[in-house]
Amino acid sequence: MLLEKFLGLFSVDMGIDLGTCNTLVCVKGQGIVLNEPSVVAVRKGTNKVLNDGRAVGFAAKEMLGKTPGTISAIRPLKEGVISDFEITEAMLAYFIRKVNGPNRFFGPRVVISIPSGITAVEKRAVLDSAERAGARRVYLVEEPMAAGIGAGLPIGDPTASMIVDIGGGTTDVAIMSLADIAHCVSVRVAGDDFDEAIVDHMRNVHGLIIGEQSAERVKIEIGSAGALAQELEMEVRGRDTVTGMPRKATINSVEIRQALTPPVSAIIKACKDTLEQAAPELAADLVNNGIVLAGGGALLRNIDRVISQATGLETRVANDPLTCVAQGTSIYLENLEAYKDTLESDVAEF
């Protein structure tokens, strides 16, 4: 205990929301200090990060889909889990160094959020990556718990709270009570699948090939899960599938909503499956407490309304859905002595 306090003087403990699309870092007493895309630019055929290890985050995302033959812009997490161990380690090392400072002798203690449905091997990959990236000790917390705490839900009370965390790679649907998860369903359908559905729609219906950044822009500007009071339209540019020439097309929110129906339906099914497995007393609580949406996918227009219609429960979007998980890791960090026995950890302390 005294050793930990001493080491804490020479490091900055941090909470990390290690997301498929974005990585957020919180520091005790300071809130969110870093929010950057989970992208790394490397020399093709190697794992050497460009710009002396600094081509990470915003600098690398700008290169997505635009790199020459000698450079690869990589997203090292797929569907919420690590798909490229070495690149993830390099990315984490960059973020930890950026927040902790280059001259700190001791590494920080780190709380990292993970999807609730990942395997023991995938958890091991997160622990190893963070340890090798410079963390002194690593704690893992399941994303629904972090999101629930970050959204201000009374998850420690003997009453049911339900969170739907729609991230980039996974959607975690959980019912929580007494500071633990009573039932949870994790599906690998989320924001990336929204983008993919838009890419497929543009290719199949408009004969236009667009990149993932363009698809994300379409989702943000005119995407919706339910009918809008005033439908929207926008212009999209890409490459013609027949001529191979650059071309533009005008699309509207009605067709994009139809394209998004399959992934939205999969998320609704996960909500229903979770509710069907809930204990009767917990289900009774949810009639009053309703459902809270978190994660970037919660910002899709009217997704709260369609989930409410499908489940019959009042559904609302958290105040700051993009940062709920990160804020939750920060709260765990602030109360680490109280929570650490309930968190998974596998790194020896010095």
Q: What is the pLDDT of residues 302-331, one digit of tens each?
A: 999 999 999 999 999 999 999 999 999 989
Would you say residue 349 has pLDDT above 90? no
Residue partners of 257: CB distance under 8 A and separation at least 6: 223, 224, 225, 226, 227
Q: What is the mean pLDDT of the chain?
A: 89
Residues 236/251, Cβ–Cβ less than 8 Å:
yes
Q: What is the pLDDT of residue 144?
A: 93
- Contact assessment for residue 306 and residue 5, using Cβ atoms and an 8 Å cutoff: no
Q: What percent of the chain has pLDDT over 90?
A: 60
pLDDT at 284 over 80: yes
Token couple for 13: 């403990």
Q: Is the pLDDT of residue 3 over 70?
A: no
Query: Would you state the pLDDT for residue 6?
Result: 45
Q: Worst-scoring range by mean pLDDT, 51-65, 134-148, 156-170, 193-207?
A: 51-65
Cα separation, 59 vs 40, in Å, equals 8
For the entire predicted model, the pTM comes to 0.89
Average pLDDT over residues 344-348: 60
Enumerate domains of the chain plus CATH numbers.
Answer: 2-38+75-146+324-345 (3.30.420.40), 154-189+267-321 (3.30.420.40), 191-259 (3.90.640.10)
Q: What is the C-alpha separation between 48 and 90, in angstroms, rounded?
A: 9
Structure tokens at 67: 């790199």
Which residues are CB-neighbours of 280 under 8 A, at least 6 positions away? none
Structure tokens at 143: 């994303």
Looking at residue 103, what DSSP letter applies?
T
Average pLDDT of the residues in 337-344: 73
Task: Quote the CA–CA distance of 173 and 165 in Å, as a whole number.
Answer: 6
Task: Decide if 34 contacts 95 (C-beta within 8 A).
Answer: yes
Among 121-125, 263-267, 342-346, top mean pLDDT goes to 263-267
263 within 8 A of 189, measured Cβ to Cβ: yes
pLDDT at residue 177 greater than cutoff 50: yes
Q: What is the mean pLDDT of residues 204-229?
A: 95
**Cα 291 to Cα 4, 130, 275, 276, distances in angstroms:** 39, 33, 11, 14
What's the whole-number mean pLDDT along residues 209-222? 95
104-155 tens-digit pLDDT:
567 888 999 988 888 889 889 899 989 988 888 899 999 999 999 999 999 8
Q: Which residue has the higher pLDDT, 82 or 338?
A: 82
Report which DSSP code applies to 299.
G
